[in-house]
């Protein structure tokens, strides 16, 4: 994770939820999952009663296209609060975001 200089994880979380409303979890994005993440993601979806469309590859890895889910966002995102339902067990790709300065992402240090 590469946060803007001087930004704490707590402040970044507040910005994501209240200012940007988790834009990194919305829209025409595809989340790639490794085989273990596919299993956990499916289990979480079942536990939360979330309808999940997950495309699996031959090696057990998979992908979730946000536009294929209600609200056009990650199925693990609570659209009302902009919080991740599985934050403590979120996929690696989510844990490493932002990996570099990104346009429109206040926490990444984009100028």
The tens digit of pLDDT for each residue in 11-37 reads 888 787 778 778 889 999 999 999 999
Rounded to two decimals, the pTM is 0.84
Structure tokens at 10: 């707590």
- Ordered by start, the domain boundaries in the chain are 9-108
Please give the order of strands across the beta sheet that includes 62-65: 30-33, 62-65, 55-56
Count the Cβ atoms, other than its own, within 10 Å of residue 19: 11
pLDDT digits (tens, 9 = 90+) for 39-76: 999 999 999 999 999 999 999 999 999 999 999 999 99
């Amino acid at each position: 994770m590469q946060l803007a200089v001087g930004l704490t994880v707590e402040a970044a979380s507040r910005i994501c939820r209240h200012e940007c409303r988790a834009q990194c979890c919305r829209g025409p994005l595809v989340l790639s999952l490794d085989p273990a993440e596919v299993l956990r993601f499916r289990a979480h979806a079942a536990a939360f009663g979330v309808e999940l469309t997950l495309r699996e590859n031959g090696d057990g890895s998979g992908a979730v296209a946000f536009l294929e889910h209600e609200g056009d966002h990650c199925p693990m995102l609570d659209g009302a609060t902009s919080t991740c339902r599985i934050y403590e067990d979120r996929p690696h790709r989510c844990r490493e975001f932002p990996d570099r300065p990104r346009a429109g992402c206040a926490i990444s240090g984009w100028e």
